[in-house]
């Protein structure tokens, strides 16, 4: 049996959990990493509360919680939020963020939203979570005028959204509404518009449109409650006693779901699924049993289980998650099923990095991350062997390692329910991304045949396009702004709503850059935002400059500068200012602007580097792109 609210993909909290947690404040360093590691366990409400208190205490003392990204979240809730608040701290740390939470007075959503001086807005929150359910919207009863009731409910939410839009900058997050169990007519509830079920379905539909118009994010709480079972999700005793909106058992899962989206806003969603082979992708041991005896494919129950794992992996790849393999095997042996077994869904061409050898798996995951040029904290490692999982967690705690049950039939549910790959938007670029990692391997072959770099790049037949921001590109622009960590000069994060606002700024220069070559279409890989310098109207001042690391070493940086210079000249500017703001992850671009020929004009104690380029002295280099 699979019980979602129990979050069985998390290992149990160890005996020493409380002692370890209490010891964190006394550490000399590494507080954030220690908290992140402790948050990987399944916690009861008391452990979660102690965790929240510890994190809050450290943050209040000004202690760095890196690598956790700070995130200020204001909560407006129609119901008691205290236990959810406790659970959110650990849930946040599990998904890469150190949450600084402020919760408005109970059941004061509208009053708070209309009060810009409310305490919850004083911290300038990064996001506002508006938390309500069917009871707050009067969707908890049979309605004689269902259209009117649903409209009134949507109007109430729209009013809150308008009020919150006055305090710009914060991403609005809402949940849709779960349908409570029980009915009125029976099966007819789905058809009669006035039932709770039909009204809530209509409301959720309207909420999606409302969110699309306003740029708010909608958590699919209805789906979550449905997966748990709504009779478990809602607890009438807890509502009547304490106005707790959901059963206490479900609070950790609810908090985890909120945290997944917040993690994704900070670029913490995972990017790559690393798969073990024997008894993870097929039943049996390929080295012992041979290709004719492993269990994979339809017609045999175990084979169906592993087929479902492969199908999920393939679907993840189709939505842009990179696949890699890490197996203790001889390389040829491990590759054989991918090449020769007719029932395998996964083929060699689906796997971006294939690490089959006898070294420890932690070293292999490091190699996978290095090859793909992504962080270890972007990896999820799926392995049926509990000893390998425990070793991986001990060696590389930043790698997500789901627990797995004895029966592989449940593997896909465990993997899909853990929320590692939360996405805020989906575009055609995403679906092409995983293939582009595979195509890298083919490019590597051309590279070997080429005499020099220029020869190689010309052989790739690259096409680069640079355009201003527009509505079509908006979701991907926001995604790049929030996900790019390494090749990001200023690491300023903007929500989709912010990006839309930038489009409307008259004097602002924006650039979305796309690249394709003869092997794949990378889609959008670069973003620049620059404005007229506040103290020098003849100059353009770069606010944001970032690029996907997938296109490093292809002179895209040079082409982006060229496009910026052309844009600046067209706008009648004669100088360009830019800066590098250091973070834990963007060391690779510390001297990018030096390399591109800008003049370093200042360096601060905190590592900030300021640059200037006099446009008349800029000469465009020859670049290996077909058109621009």
**Residues in contact with other proteins, shown as a per-residue x/- string from 17 to 56 under the rule CB under 8 A:** -x-------------------------xxx--xx--x---
Nearer to other proteins, 241 or 626 (CB): 241
Asked if 147 touches other proteins (CB under 8 A), the answer is: no
Q: Measure the CA–CA gap between 73 and 369, rounded to whole angstroms.
A: 31
> Is the Cβ of residue 56 or residue 443 nearer to other proteins in the bound state?
56
Which C-beta is closer to other proteins: that of 50 or that of 520? 50
HSE-CB at 324 with a 13 A cutoff on CA atoms is 27
**Cis omega (within 30 of 0) on the bond before 67?**
yes
Q: By CB under 8 A, is residue 397 in contact with other proteins?
A: no
Q: What DSSP string runs through 52-78?
A: HHHHHHHHHTT---TTSEEEEEEEEES
User: Cα separation of 231 and 228, whole Å?
Assistant: 8
* DSSP 8-state code for residue 95: T
Q: Is the dihedral of CA 389, 277, 308, 321 positive or negative?
A: positive
Piece of the chain touching other proteins by CB under 8 A; list 200-208, 240-248, 304-312, 414-422: 240-248
Considering the complex, state which of residue 86 and residue 278 has its C-beta at the smaller distance from other proteins. 86
At its nearest, how many Å lie between other proteins and the CB of residue 21?
A: 11
Within 10 Å of residue 205's Cβ, how many Cβ atoms?
A: 13
DSSP character string of 603-622? E-TTS-EEEEEEGGG--PPP
User: Contacts with other proteins in 246-305 (CB under 8 A)?
Assistant: 248
Residue 217 binds other proteins, judged by CB under 8 A: no
CA geometry: angle 375, 128, 489, nearest 5 deg: 35
Compute how many residues bind other proteins; rule: CB under 8 A.
18
CA–CA dist 400, 421 (Å, integer): 11
The CB-of-8 to other proteins minimum distance in angstroms stands at 17
Query: What is the C-alpha separation between 559 and 566, in angstroms, rounded?
Result: 10
83 binds other proteins (CB under 8 A): yes
Least distance from C-beta 82 to other proteins, angstroms? 6
Q: Quickly tell me which residue has 């296109």 as its tokens.
A: 551
Least CB distance from residue 13 to other proteins, whole Å?
13
Residue 244, interface with other proteins (CB under 8 A)?
A: yes
Report if residue 188 touches other proteins, rule: CB under 8 A.
no
Which two tokens mark 461?
């037949």
Strand partners for 338: none
Task: Please report how close the Cβ of residue 403 comes to other proteins at its closest, in angstroms.
Answer: 21
Shortest distance, position 84 Cβ to other proteins, whole Å: 11
Output 77 or 364, the one with its CB closest to other proteins: 77
Stretch that binds other proteins, among 34-42, 184-192, 242-250, 337-345 (CB under 8 A): 242-250
C-alpha to C-alpha distance for 125 and 161, rounded to whole angstroms: 15
Nearer to other proteins, 45 or 357 (CB): 45
Q: Where would I find the beta strands (DSSP E) of 517-620? A: 521-533, 536-547, 575-580, 599-603, 609-614
- Nearest residue (CB) to other proteins, 43 versus 480: 43
Which of 17, 114, 242, 519 is in the footprint of other proteins by CB under 8 A? 242
What residues make contact with other proteins under the rule CB under 8 A?
18, 44-46, 49-50, 53, 80, 82-83, 86, 237-238, 240-242, 244, 248
């Amino acid at each position: 049996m699979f019980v979602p609210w129990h979050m069985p993909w998390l290992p149990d909290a160890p005996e020493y959990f409380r002692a370890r947690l209490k010891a964190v404040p006394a550490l000399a360093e590494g507080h954030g990493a220690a908290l992140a590691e402790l948050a990987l366990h399944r916690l009861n409400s008391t452990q979660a509360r102690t965790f929240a208190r510890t994190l809050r205490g450290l943050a209040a003392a000004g202690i760095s919680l890196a690598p956790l990204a700070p995130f200020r979240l204001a909560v407006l809730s129609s119901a008691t939020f205290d236990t959810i608040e406790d659970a959110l701290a650990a849930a946040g740390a599990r998904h890469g963020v150190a949450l600084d939470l402020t919760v408005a007075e109970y059941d004061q959503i509208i009053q708070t939203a209309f009060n810009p001086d409310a305490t919850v807005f004083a911290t300038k929150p990064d996001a506002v979570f508006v938390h309500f359910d069917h009871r707050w919207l009067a969707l908890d009863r049979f309605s004689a005028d269902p259209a009117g009731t649903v409209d009134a409910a949507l109007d109430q939410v729209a009013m809150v959204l308008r009020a919150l839009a006055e305090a710009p900058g914060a991403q609005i997050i809402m949940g849709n509404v779960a349908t409570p169990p029980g009915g009125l007519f029976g099966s007819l509830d789905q058809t009669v518009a006035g039932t709770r079920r039909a009204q809530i379905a209509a409301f959720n539909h309207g909420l999606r449109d409302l969110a699309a118009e306003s740029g708010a994010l909608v958590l699919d709480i209805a789906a979550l409650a449905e997966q748990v079972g709504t009779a478990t999700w809602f607890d009438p005793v807890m509502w009547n006693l304490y106005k707790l909106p959901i059963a206490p058992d479900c609070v950790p899962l609810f908090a985890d779901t909120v945290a997944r989206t917040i993690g994704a806003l900070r670029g913490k969603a995972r990017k790559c699924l690393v798969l073990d082979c024997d008894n993870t992708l097929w039943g049996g041991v390929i080295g012992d049993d041979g290709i004719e005896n492993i269990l994979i494919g339809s017609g045999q129950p175990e084979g169906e289980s592993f087929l479902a794992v492969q199908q999920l992996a393939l679907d993840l790849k189709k939505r842009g998650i990179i696949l890699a393999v890490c197996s203790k095997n001889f390389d040829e042996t491990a590759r054989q099923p991918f090449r020769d077994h007719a029932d395998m869904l996964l083929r060699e061409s689906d796997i971006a990095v294939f690490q089959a050898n006898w070294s420890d798996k932690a070293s292999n995951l490091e190699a996978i991350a290095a090859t793909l040029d992504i962080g270890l904290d972007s990896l999820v490692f799926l392995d049926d062997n509990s000893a390998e999982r425990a070793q991986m967690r001990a060696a590389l705690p930043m790698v997500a390692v789901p627990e797995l049950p004895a029966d592989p039939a449940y593997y896909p549910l465990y993997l899909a329910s853990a929320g590692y790959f939360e996405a805020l938007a989906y575009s055609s670029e995403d679906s092409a991304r995983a293939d582009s990692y595979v195509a890298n391997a083919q490019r590597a072959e051309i590279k070997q045949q080429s005499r020099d770099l220029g020869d190689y790049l010309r052989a790739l037949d690259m096409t680069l396009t640079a355009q201003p921001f527009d509505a079509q590109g908006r979701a991907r622009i926001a995604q790049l702004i929030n996900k790019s960590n390494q090749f990001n000069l200023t690491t300023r994060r903007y929500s989709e709503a912010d990006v839309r606002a930038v489009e409307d700024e008259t004097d602002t220069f924006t650039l979305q850059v796309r690249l394709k070559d003869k092997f794949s279409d990378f889609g959008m890989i670069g973003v620049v935002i620059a404005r007229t310098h506040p103290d020098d109207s003849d100059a353009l001042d770069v606010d944001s400059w970032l690029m996907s690391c997938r296109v490093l070493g292809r002179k895209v940086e040079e082409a982006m500068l060229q496009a910026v210079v052309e844009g600046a000249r067209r706008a009648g500017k004669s100088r360009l200012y830019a800066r590098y703001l250091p973070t834990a992850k963007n060391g690779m671009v510390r001297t990018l602007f030096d390399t591109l020929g800008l003049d370093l004009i200042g360096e601060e104690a905190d590592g900030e580097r300021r640059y200037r380029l006099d446009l008349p002295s800029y000469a465009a280099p020859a670049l290996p792109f077909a058109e621009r």
